[in-house]
Structure 1
Amino acid sequence: MGLNIAFFGSSLVSSYWNGAATYYRGLIRALNLLGHRVTFYEPDAYDRQQHRDMKPPRWARVVVYPATRAGVYRALEGAQGADLVVKASGVGVFDELLEQEVLALKRPGNQVVFWDVDAPATLQRLRENPSDPFRVLVPRYDMILTYGGGDPIVAAYTKIGARGCVPIYNALDPSTHHPVRAEDRLRADLSFLGNRLPDRERRVEEFFFEVARRLGARRFILAGAGWDDKSRGANITYLGHLGTRDHNAFNCSSLAVLNVSRSSMAENGFSPATRVFEAAGAGACVITDSWDGVECFFEPGNEILVAASGAEVAAILDRLTPAEALQVGRSALARVKREHTYAHRARQFETIFGAARGKS
């Protein structure tokens, strides 16, 4: 019998300033296919409802609540009786209140889980503020789930009292991200899609902007919110926020697609970004910055190209042929469909939850 899951997150219906949207959509859709029922509670905040890029899905019930304390409590009231309550990190509105109050929904026979979609940031917050109220709440959750981080993140959460901590990594939803026909407006030698964030900008400067300066005759495309006033060369086309409906064409139209990790993700390792699986699912040739654990997801040199610096990105791009790029993309697509779909992650989720119920 499927679970009734109440999920408090940033947004399911809008990817606007919401990098976790694809992760939520892929996983929740896959859980629904396994017979679970998800109600996703999201605040009306950050203009996301004005930038929806999907209709309310059939595979989840979406409840949008006012971004007020009263709105939070009404949403919590609606979640009473759920078999599983999930509080995701980075809701963006009244996170501390939700971290505390979802635990009041705990009752015999159900589980309350904290799902950290940015564990490096959460753990840094706790290091910088030992009196952060979330620290004493961690042991009260039945489980801490993360969407990346590997052993360093698991060890850090265990140290502060987590009953269990398990990564459920990003993945591919083949029904939404897949190969499509290339579009002339999106053709480039190298494309990068990512919002402008302080924890990422220095690395984007090195791995993307500096490469564009080195290879002045090549064409580059930048997409993502927040880069409007960033100085860039004439060989860089800036698209602004790119809705998910255009991601497949974006990934299929360039010689290569770049992944640049945020600094905290690179330092912790084992944190493949959603864009890596999206691009691989479209059969794109991905060039990624180097981080520990990349080989656990793709074979470097065969299924993904790895660069330790901007100079290495430029060198890879300078010698990369269309035939080689095509082969890398095909290999990545085969690997991701074989091992890294949200169907795989949903089955992992069921295994974890079953084990957690056995301990309750």
Structure 2
Amino acid sequence: MKIVIFGLTISSSWGNGHATLWRGLCRTLAKRGHRVVFFEKDVPYYATNRDFIEIPGGDLILYKDWASIHARAEAELKDADAAMVTSYCPDGIAAGELVLMAPRASRVFYDLDTPVTFSRLDAGEPISYIGPGGLAGFDLVLSYTGGRALERLQTELGARRVAPLYGHVDPDVHRPVQSTHHYLSYLSYLGTYAADRQDALQHLFIDPAACRPDRRFLIGGAQYPEDFPWQPNIHFVCHLPPPEHPAFFSSSRLTLNITRQAMAEMGWCPSGRLFEAAACGAPILSDSWQGLDSFFEPGREVLIARETEDVVTALDLTDAELNRIAKAGRERALEEHTSEHRAKELEILLGGPTFLSPSAGGPAAMMEA
């Protein structure tokens, strides 16, 4: 297939989770004989933090403004088998209108930010990447979030055919490596700063660090404010590009996953970092949200923390206990959550109404209006 995508970014992993997911998916699609053409608006904050410039077997088209690229986009769509526009695409509405006019392609919308979409919809705020007609014109609407989000996409935004396409990991990129002194930690956390995660970060990371002042805690990420409540034993690494993630996770005795508030409230929305950490062989301590147990088994493949005491208890586990959890989590990630698994699911979904599992929120479930 030739797949044309209008997305947020694949060229820069700075401050967003889209890029790493697209890289793994596009690499896998190329291995499976498909060609991806990815249109990305060349904005300054991604241009100055660009860490990916070429799609294997495909094309990355960077453009300054929609007018300058409209004719090229129209030409690429003429022989496309699938045409997709995603959430947070800077020209999402214009691109969506063009996709809906594609002469032969399956017309797809992929919401990688479904909880944010609905939080804005509920608040009466504008959604910059969905036009006034909603999603009714698309042949298929994919959602990074499963569960009740799938029904809401139909009932509130008019989607006719919906399916989850969850996060994933490329095991060729994210795998256990030799630990690095710079990243050694008793507990690590990798994530862009978000105000709606700060309360959980306080209780599940900062307060536990105060309980273990002799241990080294490590945060990696971007956009942390100057008034962040650092502790003397909390160290910081500013923005880790994806090639550094394996060393970061492999150097962590235990790593923490915290879900954005809207994602946690909606459930069925696993962070890509969750799969990355698991594939790198790091034992994971995660906040709790509905649907988590469908991706990793609590207590065996992942540990759950709801308050500071849960984190302290996890920190006091033996190395043998943590290694057991890490091994089980990695096995589950490789068995069910790789980029190849998602590429196969996408192939099936683009091929027609046949799907892998009829379960309401399962990895390849599909709903039709």
- TM-score normalized by structure 1? 0.92
**1:233-273 CA distances to partner (integer Å, 9 max, x unpaired)?**
11100111111111000000011011000001111111111
Amino acid at match of 2:116: A
Q: Secondary structure at the match of 2:88?
A: coil
Q: Which residue of 2 aligns with 1:218?
A: 215
**Number of matched residues?**
351
Q: Which residue of 1 aligns with 2:134?
A: 137
Specify the SS of the correspondent of 2:45: coil
Matched, 1:17 2:15: yes
| Equivalence for 2:280 | 282
The runs of at least 4 consecutive aligned structure 1 residues that moved more than 4 Å come to: 130-133, 356-359
CA contact (8 A) 2:77 2:105 kept: no
Q: Which residue of 2 aligns with 1:302?
A: 300
Compute the displacement of 1:350 (Å): 1.1
Query: What amino acid is the match of 1:112?
Result: R
- Structure 1 residue 344 and structure 2 residue 341: aligned? yes
Change (3 A) 1:204 1:46: farther
Counterpart in the other structure of 2:119: 124
1:74 positional shift = 4.5
What amino acid is the match of 1:141? F
Partner of 1:156: 152
Amino acid aligned to 1:119 = T
Q: Choose from 254, 265, 268 the match for 2:266.
A: 268
Mean CA deviation greater in 198-207 or 11-20:
198-207
Contact 1:100 1:137 in 2 (8 A): no
Measure, in 2, the Cα distance between the counterparts of 1:131 and 1:211. 39
Q: CA deviation at 1:212?
A: 1.6
Q: Aligned equivalents of 1:137 and 1:75: distance in 2?
A: 25
From 291, 294, 315, give the equivalent of 1:293: 291
Number of the residue aligned with 2:106: 111
Number of the residue aligned with 2:204: 207
3-state SS in 2 of match to 1:85: strand
Cα shift readout 1:95-147 (whole Å, capped 9, x = no counterpart): 3333334323x22x321111001001112222333886635231011111012
Paired residues for 1:36-47 under 5 Å: 36-47=34-45
Query: Does the alignment pair 1:323 with 2:320?
Result: yes
Higher mean displacement: 273-282 or 348-357: 348-357
**Is the Cα–Cα contact under 8 Å of residues 74 and 98 in structure 2 kept in the other structure?**
no
Offset at residue 288 of structure 1 (A): 0.4
Q: Quick one: which of 45, 50, 53 aligns to 2:51?
A: 53
**In 2, are the aligned partners of 1:41 and 1:75 still within 8 Å (CA)?**
no
Tell me the amino acid that sits aligned with residue 322 of structure 1: D
What residue is the counterpart of 1:184 in the other structure? 181
The more displaced of 51-60 and 193-202 is: 51-60
What does residue 251 of structure 1 align with?
249
- Residue by residue over 1:41-92, the C-alpha shift from the partner in whole angstroms, topping out at 9 and shown as x without a partner, is 11111421221223413233111111x242352453343212211101112x
Q: 1:226 corresponds to which letter in structure 2?
A: Q
Question: Compared with structure 1, are the counterparts of its residues 46 and 261 closer, same or farther at alpha carbon in structure 2 (3 Å cutoff)?
Answer: farther
Q: Of residues 236, 239, 259 in structure 2, which corresponds to 1:238? A: 236
Shift of 1:152: 1.2
Note if contact 1:143-1:356 (Cα within 8 Å) is conserved in structure 2: no
Q: Secondary structure at the match of 1:239?
A: strand
- Of 49-58 and 113-122, deviating more is 49-58
What is the rounded CA distance, in whole Å, between the counterparts of 2:5 and 2:324 in structure 1?
Answer: 39
**Partner Cα separation in structure 2 for residue 257 and residue 130 of structure 1:** 35
TM-score normalised to the size of structure 2? 0.90
In the TM superposition, what are the counterparts of 1:70-89 in structure 2 within 5 Å?
A: 70-81=67-78, 82-89=80-87
Q: Report the 3-state secondary structure (helix = DSSP H, G, I; strand = E; otherwise coil) of the residue aligned with 1:320.
A: coil
Report the alpha carbon displacement of residue 307 of structure 1 after superposing the two structures with TM.
1.1
Secondary structure (helix, strand or coil) at the match of 1:18 reads: coil
Q: Could you tell me how far apart the structure 1 residues matched to 2:186 and 2:268 are?
A: 27
The secondary structure found in structure 2 opposite 1:136 is coil
